[in-house]
Every structure is written in C-alpha cells, then in structure tokens.
Amino acid sequence: MSLGLTQIALLVPDYDLAINFYCNALGFQMIEDTPQSETKRWVVVKPNEDGGCALLLAKAVGEQQEAAIGNQSGGRVFLFLHTEKFDFYYQRIIENNLKIVRGPIDEPYGKVIVFEDIFGNKWDLIGKSSC
C-alpha cells in the first residue's frame, strides 16, 4: 500500500486573486475550480500537471483563519519549489515584484532564494545542484 501527500490547504483572502497570482505570476497549472456553494469553491493548482503536490486554495472564513493568511507556518519557509530552470523562475519572481527575503545563495544541494508570495507566505526556490 502506498501513501502520498497530494495537497496542502493554503489560506487565501480571495479565490480569484490567488488563482491569478499562482497561475500567472508563478506559472502554476489550474487543476480544478469547482463551486461547492455560493461562497465556497474547491480550487486546486499545482506547479506541474503531472505528479507532485498541489495547493488547495482555501478562502479564509472568520477572524482566526484570516489572521493566519501568509503565516500558516509561524514565519518560517512554508513551501518549497524545486526546479531545473532556476534562472527562469528567479527572473519570473523579479518581474512580478515579489519580495526576495534571502539569496540567491549557493548551498550544497543547489542554488536557493527565499521569497514571499503576495500573501506573505515564505517559499524556497531551489535549483538543482550541478554536482
């Protein structure tokens, strides 16, 4: 029996704002956008259509969830993107005026930048090491 992590719920203030950001600024693929009620949708995006983990964009409801937008990990890096096209995605981050918190730096496992998405979540963009 296999077990895999397929989705992570990410609190967002607005579905369409989040879809626009992740699909246009970062180049994620829309996997599903299904209405659940007049106010709730099942919205799934992911970096690649094939394999890997997806983000379930969950519209925050109530003060507690709204307060957690952009800080679901207590200020730590929360999400990690691995790529063979580091320079391409690094340029995309710059072009979309995202805040770069640290880097780029070379680590034994690859080139890394820490950036924030438009909601304040910290991400690592990690390029494969040439070794």
Confidence (pLDDT) at 14: 97
- Could you say which architecture CATH assigns to the domain 1-69? Roll (3.10)
Q: Which amino acid is at 89?
A: Y
Q: What is the pLDDT of residues 4-53, one digit of tens each?
A: 889 999 999 999 999 999 999 999 999 999 999 999 999 999 998 666 89
User: DSSP states of 5-41 as a string?
Assistant: --EEEEEES-HHHHHHIIIIIS-PEEEEEEE-SSS-E
Question: Looking at the predicted structure, is the pLDDT value of residue 129 above 90?
Answer: no
Report the predicted TM-score, pTM, of the whole model to 2 decimal places. Answer: 0.89
For the cut 60, the answer to whether the pLDDT of residue 131 exceeds it is: no
CA-based nearest residue to 32, from 40, 41, 24: 41
Q: What is the pLDDT of residue 21?
A: 97
Separation of alpha carbons 96 and 57, rounded Å: 20
In the chain, ranges of CATH 3.10.180.10 domains: 1-69, 73-130
Average pLDDT over residues 102-128: 94
**What strands, in cross-sheet order, belong to the sheet with 41-46?**
7-12, 54-59, 41-46, 29-35
pLDDT tens digits, one per residue of 48-93: 866 689 999 999 999 999 999 999 999 999 999 999 999 999 999 9
Quick one: pLDDT at residue 5?
Answer: 87
Tokens of 63: 């003060």
Cα separation of 125 and 79, whole Å?
9
Determine which helix (DSSP H) or strand (DSSP E) holds 119, and give its type and residue range.
none
User: Rounded distance, CA 74 to CA 121, Å?
Assistant: 10
CATH domain 73-130 topology: 2,3-Dihydroxybiphenyl 1,2-Dioxygenase; domain 1 (3.10.180)
State percent of the chain over pLDDT 70.
95
φ/ψ of 26, rounded to 5, equals -100, -10
Q: Does residue 66 sit in helix, strand or coil?
A: helix
